[in-house]
Amino acid sequence: MSAKKVLVTGSGTGIGREIALEFARQGAVVALHYAHSERGAESAVKEILSGGGKATAIRADLSEVSQAQNLAVQAIEFLGGIDVLVNNAGITLTLEFEKVTPEQFDKVYNVNVRGSYFLTQMAIQPMIKQGKGTIVNLTSVHGLRACKGHSVYAGTKGAIISATRELAIELAPLGIRVNAIAPGAVPVENQFKAAGMDSFPELGKSIPCGFAGTPLDIAKVAVFLASDDARYIVGQTIVIDGGATSWMSFSEGYRDTGLRLGQGYVPGI
């Protein structure tokens, strides 16, 4: 990542902040975007500068297309171009389907899908000129598995997965690789704040590997996908969830009954 020019959206807190820091640790010049978390973004910039790196923080409301487009312009101006775009910014909503209003629906889709779509459209222009670049989209396991109360959020994350595949085949001939990351349970400060807790000690019990992930787990994969080591990975969604989406939870019910299939036709059963 030495001297790579990187823009990370939603990097004032949580996963996005750690992604920005990890790119900087690996030698990249980083533009951090935030909408509300100015303190977190500015503290990350200070940390990068104190380590001898180069970074800046840029505010933009991605629900407004003009601001999303202007973010790309400002980032490219600061960076002197752009090699890597990480579309991490997103908001969530936990609400029963029948209670969702059009305004709530539009807000989540505008930030999570519409804003990043038109930001990407602007950000790829320098990549096209130089004949190379990488885009890493952050989606979620919510785009792959269902969870009650997340019809709007899950819809946006599914859209990101589909858009990643589509953009990948359109942009690969231009030298631009597009992939996505779908994190599973990765507790961050905003979740702690919403829950009124400083940790989720029981969370690991529901994950096959026995523990929840951290923002750094996601950040390291984001850097890998942006590197030349991942040059043959195109249009993929990498799931990082400790095995959660691989697990058929209903199978535990069968196990508890003592059911053993194969009797009478598989030797030794």
Residues 57-85 have pLDDT tens digits of: 999 999 999 999 999 999 999 999 999 99
Q: What is the DSSP string of 33-69?
A: EESS-HHHHHHHHHHHHHTT--EEEEE--TTSHHHHH
> Could you give the CA distance from residue 68 to residue 122 in angstroms, rounded to a whole number?
9
Cβ within 8 Å of residue 256, ≥6 positions away: none
Confidence (pLDDT) at 195:
59
Q: What is the mean pLDDT of the chain?
A: 93
> Could you give the CA distance from residue 23 to residue 30 in angstroms, rounded to a whole number?
7
Confidence (pLDDT) at 163:
98
pLDDT grade for 197, boundaries at 50, 70 and 90: low
Overall average pLDDT of the 44-62 stretch: 98
Residue the block writes with tokens 């409301």:
61
Q: Look up the CATH number of domain 5-257.
A: 3.40.50.720
Q: Evaluate whether 75 touches 2 at the Cβ level (below 8 Å).
A: no
Query: Residue 37 has which token pair?
Result: 């978390």
Confidence (pLDDT) at 254:
67
Confidence (pLDDT) at 79:
98
Overall average pLDDT of the 5-14 stretch: 97
Confidence (pLDDT) at 188:
81
Quick one: the chain helix, strand, coil %, rounded to 5?
50, 15, 35
Overall average pLDDT of the 95-103 stretch: 96
Which pTM does this prediction carry?
Answer: 0.92
Give me the phi and psi of 136, to 5 degrees please: -120, 115
Alpha-carbon torsion (98, 244, 219, 128), positive or negative: negative
Lowest mean pLDDT, pick from 145-149, 165-169, 251-255:
251-255
- In this predicted structure, the answer to whether residue 141 has a pLDDT above a threshold of 60 is yes
The residues annotated as belonging to the active site are: 153
Q: Give the percent of the chain with pLDDT over 90.
A: 82
pLDDT grade for 10, boundaries at 50, 70 and 90: very high
Q: How many CB atoms lie within 10 A of CB 172?
A: 13
Give the model confidence (pLDDT) of 199-236 as tens digits: 677 788 889 999 999 999 999 999 999 999 999 999 99
CA-based nearest residue to 175, from 136, 221, 121, 135: 135
Confidence (pLDDT) at 204:
83
Domains of the chain, by residue range, sit at 5-257
> Could you give the CA distance from residue 15 to residue 185 in angstroms, rounded to a whole number?
11
> Could you give the CA distance from residue 203 to residue 248 in angstroms, rounded to a whole number?
17
